[in-house]
Amino acid sequence: EPEVTQTPSHQVTQMGQEVILRCVPISNHLYFYWYRQILGQKVEFLVSFYNNEISEKSEIFDDQFSVERPDGSNFTLKIRSTKLEDSAMYFCASCRTWGTNEQYFGPGTRLTVT
């Protein structure tokens, strides 16, 4: 069964460093999302992406964040200058069509900023 994959599973970085989190969505899906979950808190929406552009972003997704689909398979989330409060699980999700909303999630990347 097709699944969303994410790498790395765990990333440790120092405050101020740039990180790139990678995702490979399900191959015939067209809509892509990033969510995060800070320990003990809700899963929060960050950004949605379709047709090579951002469809919607939350207030969390400030200028330090960017997303890219550099080729036909990868979908990346970049944090330019990490802060301690960026430590969280980051989940990538994809959806086949916009009309339904069964978003399929990857296993997540645990980002630890020290």
Partner 1 sequence: DQQVKQNSPSLSVQEGRISILNCDYTNSMFDYFLWYKKYPAEGPTFLISISSIKDKNEDGRFTVFLNKSAKHLSLHIVPSQPGDSAVYFCAAPRRTANAGGTSYGKLTFGQGTILTVHP
Residues near partner 1, by CB under 8 A: 4, 6, 33, 35, 41-45, 48, 55-56, 58, 91, 93, 98-108
Taking the CA of residue 76 as centre, how many other CA atoms within 13 Å lie in the half-sphere pointing to its CB? Answer: 16
Q: Residue 8's CB: how many other CB atoms inside 10 A?
A: 13
- Residue 9 CA to residue 22 CA, distance in Å, equals 10
Q: At closest approach, how far in Å is the CB of 61 from partner 1?
A: 11
Q: At closest approach, how far in Å is the CB of 16 from partner 1?
A: 28
Q: At closest approach, how far in Å is the CB of 11 from partner 1?
A: 15
Q: For residue 14, with 0-12 CB atoms within 10 Å meaning exposed, 13-18 middle and 19 or more buried, which class applies?
A: exposed
For partner 1, the closer of residues 55 and 81 by Cβ is 55
Q: At closest approach, how far in Å is the CB of 84 from partner 1?
A: 22
Q: Which amino acid is at 83?
A: K
For partner 1, the closer of residues 20 and 43 by Cβ is 43
- Residue 98 CA to residue 96 CA, distance in Å, equals 7
For partner 1, the closer of residues 81 and 98 by Cβ is 98
For partner 1, the closer of residues 74 and 97 by Cβ is 97
